[in-house]
Chain A
Amino acid sequence: MDVFAIIIAALFADNFVLSQFLGICPFLGVSKKISSAAGMGIAVTAVMVITCAVCYPIYTFLLAPMGLQYLNILVFILLIASLVQILEMVLKRFSPGLYSAMGIYLPLVTTNCAILGVAKIVTNVAASAADAGFVFSDVFFGQLVSVNMAMGYGEAVLSGLFYGLGFTLAIVLLAGLRIKTDKLHVAKALRGFPMTMLAACFMAMAFYVFTLM
């Protein structure tokens, strides 16, 4: 497993926000301050990891063998909602400090398409992996390095982690940019969302370079 390839792809080339357009709402909405952007990013990362860890086995061992793939959206979204609530409870009970830092972002995470997106990506790959069993066993072909092929449980969780970190990276960078852009004197019509999107546009250009590698 090529950890480096996963990291590069998840952080830059396949960045959830800037190249796959997932999780744009919090990206634009919660990026006013670096601290809140970081809180949101960490909350998303945590939920992504847990989502991958839970959704992957449920899909692979429960839904897929019984031919119930069509229930995946329903099951995933309920799982995510429940997981977020459990995480919130656990944090509140055991780590009030952390809860006060990222707790308020957790409910927002439930309806973040990045989370459902990561669950879909990880399990989609699992679905196509079932009939490509040979790649699984044949380390010689080097297929296991491929990020999208994340068919093993470890790879699924790892991609969840790094997609989450990619989101965090993008949102924190945007928050840093917005400190500058929000102070600029621009035409009234451009203030607010348009200006933020222009900043995101330049970030997307920079991140695009990684897809050419």
Chain B
Amino acid sequence: MIDLLSLSRGGSVALLVVMLVIVAAQIGLVVWLAVLHFKSRKPVAATSANETAAAPSQPKTGKGKNPALIASVKAVAILVCICFVCVALLAVCNELMYISDEERFNRSLSKIYPGFQGDSSFDQTPDSQFATNHAYKGQVKKVYKSTTGDYIIEALGGGGFQDGSVTLYVVVGADAKIKAWAVKENVGQSYIDRIPGNAGNTWYVGEDISNELALNMTGATVVATSTAINNAVNMASYYARNALGLGENPEADAQKAVAELLGDQYADYKMTSVNISRATVDGSKGVAEALSDVNNGLSYLFLMQGEANMFAYVYGAKETLKIVVVKDNAIVAKTEGVSDTDEFVVNILANPVYTFTFGSYQAYAIVTESADGVYTVAGLKVGVTPNTYVLKITVQPDTDGKGKVSAIEATVNGYVPGEPAETNTNKLITSLVGARLDNIDAWYNDKTEGGTGFVTGATQSANLIRAAVQAALTAFDASSASGN
């Protein structure tokens, strides 16, 4: 038997509080009735006459005192009583038919992973270091481990329709292969029903999580929502690779190789990958691709945290890794067999990574291409909320021979979708025409404090754009100085 006063969910106190809410909601009614009765007596008389006519069995209540008031108090009392009974009934029903969160979870899984049994000793909170990834606009919310060793990762992937997202349960087997997935919820994906019903058991199933998975949309016509699903699956495999140690992890292997090469001196340094390959818009090249073109197949570029201006360039596959570590544009270490005259080494030194510190922000810029005063520069922010801009900046000599921006165009625009960031970053980019190395501080300050305020809502973007322009101007001034 259910004891109303000891309902496990809700409880008697909560029940009372809700009743208070309902009663409070009815205060309006009481006031309304009171106003009706005190202000105009005639219509009341008319209604009560109707009432008695309609229900003659009910004797007229109240003698001597205001009968209308008594009637309305009685009416409200009955209403509140009905409320009480109904809420109590619902509390009982809720107790009988309660569905716990685990049950909901098991239900979503029952189709794709029947017979799931959770490993209760496993910590379901994801490792915050790998819980987000900008490339997939993704986040891992929860991780479950089954007693059989498989993992179920609740992963959100962005980049869907109207920049919405999809949250999936992705089953990653102990063998580092994707077993199945199911949609938990979505944001703004009005056509999610066009994803075939069996997609969760066919798309990406059996694929190895070691590599980034290409978009699969067999039997579906919705690119955006399929992309969000792809991002969520990739987010889950990224997490499985890095935090759960499943499958092959070429990136981690490369980091390990770099650490080995550098030895004890840099053993404490953390490396952050600057490989933001997904930051492409409309098919234009991402930073990694652009760098890879310039540097003959660059696989990874790592930033050595704790040491400014120090970067590790990694080339090739696992067995034939070539590593060049550069600090302040000079080679610190390199693997055997790499010569200073190799084309990519020349390129590395010719196209250094510029580091700029603006207040508490650190922004990086890499000139990936330069010809006839046109510089293709990637402005990067790595680490928390990484972001990328790739700008094509045309620099021409000013009257004194110093570089001056004459045209600027964004190839990859990492603005935050929505206002005011979108407008402001575009304004920022165009306003940089005419900037010189010696007046860019003034330009920037004008846009922040008391100035035109373009930076509002786009602070980090402004830093990246600024870093890119500064890098292009520095490169131009350096080349013209050496030319003279």
A and B touch in the complex (CB under 8 A): yes
Binding site for B on A (CB under 8 A): 1-5, 9, 13-14, 58, 62-63, 66-68, 70-71, 74-75, 78-79, 82-83, 85-86, 88-89, 128, 131-132, 134-135, 138-149, 211
Task: Encode contact with A along B184-207: 1 for CB under 8 Å, 0 otherwise.
Answer: 010110100000000000000000
User: Contact between A143 and B163 (Cβ–Cβ < 8 Å)?
Assistant: yes
Q: How far is the CB of B414 from the nearest CB of chain A, in Å? A: 9
B residues near A89, Cβ cutoff 8 Å: 28, 31-32, 35
Bound Cα distance from A131 to B26, whole angstroms? 33
**B residues near A141, Cβ cutoff 8 Å:** 134, 137, 158, 416
Give the residues in chain B near A86, CB-CB below 8 Å.
28, 31-32
Cβ-neighbour of A145 out of B17, B26, B29, B418 (below 8 A):
B418
**Are the C-beta atoms of A3 and B419 separated by less than 8 Å?**
yes
CB-defined contacts of A9 to chain B, threshold 8 Å: 162
Alpha-carbon gap, A119 to B430, bound state (A) = 43
Q: How far is the CB of A205 from chain B (nearest CB, A)?
A: 17
**Stretch touching chain A among B86-94, B303-311, B342-350, B392-400:** B86-94
B141 & A131 in contact (Cβ 8 Å cutoff): yes
A140 touches B460 (CB 8 A): yes
Question: CB < 8 Å: which of A14, A71, A134 contacts B87?
Answer: A71
Shortest beta-carbon distance from B379 to chain A in Å: 15
Closest 5 CB pairs of A and B: A142-B417, A145-B418, A2-B418, A82-B28, A86-B28
Contact, CB under 8 Å: A85 / B14? no
Please tell me which one of the listed residues A2, A70, A78 contacts residue B25 in the complex, with CB atoms under 8 A apart. A78
Q: Is the CB of B419 within 8 A of A2?
A: yes
Provide 7 A-B residue pairs closer than 8 Å at the C-beta atoms, listed in order of the A residue. A58-B21, A66-B14, A85-B29, A131-B141, A142-B163, A145-B163, A146-B187
- Assembly CA distance A69 to B296 (angstroms): 59
Write the chain B residue with the least CB distance to A5: B162
User: In the complex, are the beta carbons of B10 and A68 less than 8 A apart?
Assistant: yes
Q: Provided the pairs A71-B18, A74-B86 are in contact, do residues A142 and B139 lie with their beta carbons within 8 angstroms?
A: no
- Whether a CB of chain A sits under 8 angstroms from the CB of B470 is no
Q: How far is the CB of B11 from chain A (nearest CB, A)?
A: 8
Min distance, Cβ B241 to any Cβ of chain A, angstroms: 21
Q: Indicate if the CB atoms of B416 and A139 lie closer than 8 Å.
A: yes
In the complex, which residues of chain B have a beta carbon less than 8 angstroms from the beta carbon of A131? 141
- CB-based contact A134/B188 at 8 Å: no
In the complex, besides A62-B18, A143-B164, 18 extra interface pairs with C-beta distance below 8 angstroms are A13-B190, A58-B21, A63-B18, A67-B14, A70-B90, A74-B87, A75-B21, A78-B83, A82-B25, A140-B134, A140-B416, A141-B158, A141-B416, A142-B418, A143-B163, A144-B418, A148-B187, A148-B188
Q: Annotate B146-177 by CB proximity to A: 1 below 8 A, 0 otherwise.
A: 00000000001010001111010000000000
Q: Which residues of A contact B167 (CB under 8 A)?
A: 132
Q: Which residues of A contact B164 (CB under 8 A)?
A: 143, 146, 148-149
Known: A70-B90, A71-B87, A86-B32. A146 touches B25 (CB 8 A): no
Q: Which residues of A contact B387 (CB under 8 A)?
A: 140
CA distance A62 to B21 in the complex (A): 9
Binding site of A, secondary structure by majority: helix, strand, loop or mixed? helix
Complex CA–CA separation, A88 to B36 (angstroms):
12
In the complex the two chains form, is B28's CB within 8 Å of A83's CB? yes
Which chain A positions have C-beta within 8 A of B35?
89
A-side contacts of B139, CB under 8 Å? 132, 134-135
Contact between chains at B17 and A66 (CB < 8 Å): yes
Contact partner of A68 among B18, B25, B132, B163, CB < 8 A?
B18
Contact between A1 and B418, CB atoms less than 8 A apart: yes
- Whole-angstrom distance between the Cβ of B65 and the nearest chain A Cβ: 25
In this assembly, does B9 line the interface, its C-beta being within 8 Å of a C-beta of chain A? yes
B22 in the interface (beta carbon within 8 A): yes
Smallest CB gap from A149: residue in B = B187
Contacts of A147 in B (CB 8 A): 162, 188
Contacts A78-B25, A79-B25, A138-B385 given: A143-B158 contact, CB under 8 Å? yes
- Most chain B CB within a 10 A radius of its CB, from A89, A135, A142: A142
Give Cα A198 to B191, complex, Å: 25
Q: Are A5 and B418 in touch, CB under 8 angstroms?
A: yes
**A14 to B190 alpha-carbon distance, docked (Å):** 9
Residues of B contacting A78 in the complex (Cβ-Cβ under 8 angstroms): 22, 25-26, 83
Residue of B with least CB distance to A66: B14
Q: How far is the CA of A200 from the CA of B139 in the complex (A)?
A: 42
Question: Roughly how many angstroms separate A9 CA and B190 CA in the complex, as a whole number?
Answer: 11
B-side contacts of A82, CB under 8 Å:
25-29
**A125, B83: Cα distance in complex, Å:** 27
In the complex, what residues of B have CB within 8 A of residue A145's CB?
Answer: 162-163, 417-418
A1 to B86, CA, bound (A): 40
* B35, B417, B421 — most chain A CB neighbours (10 Å): B417
- Which B residues touch A83, using CB under 8 A? 28
Cα A13 to Cα B189 with chains together (Å): 12
Residues of B within 8 A of A148 (CB): 164, 187-188
For the complex, give the distance between the alpha carbons of A149 and B25 in Å.
Answer: 28
Q: Tell me the bound Cα distance from A67 to B17 in angstroms.
A: 12
Q: How far is the CB of A107 from chain B (nearest CB, A)?
A: 12
User: What B residues does A128 contact at CB under 8 A?
Assistant: 185
The reply to whether B190 and A211 contact each other, CB–CB distance below 8 Å, is yes
Which residues of A lie under 8 Å from residue B419 when comparing CB positions? 1-4
CA distance A86 to B29 in the complex (A): 8
* Bound: A38/B56 CA distance, A: 42
Say whether B416 contacts A142, CB under 8 Å.
Answer: yes
Contacts of A146 in B (CB 8 A): 162-165, 187-188
Nearest CB in chain B: distance from A84 CB, A: 9
* Complex: A128 Cα to B104 Cα, angstroms: 14
Interface flags, B369-394, vs A, CB<8A=1, else 0: 00000000000000001010000000
In the bound complex, residues from chain A placing their C-beta under 8 Å from that of B27 are 82
- Scan B415-436; emit 1 where CB is below 8 A from any A CB, else 0: 0111101000000000000000
Q: Mark B29-46, 1 if CB is under 8 A from A, else 0.
A: 101100100000000000
* From A63, A68, A70, residue with most partner B Cβ within 10 Å: A68
B101, closest chain A residue (CB): A131
Residue with the highest number of chain B CB atoms closer than 10 Å, among A70, A71, A147, A211: A71
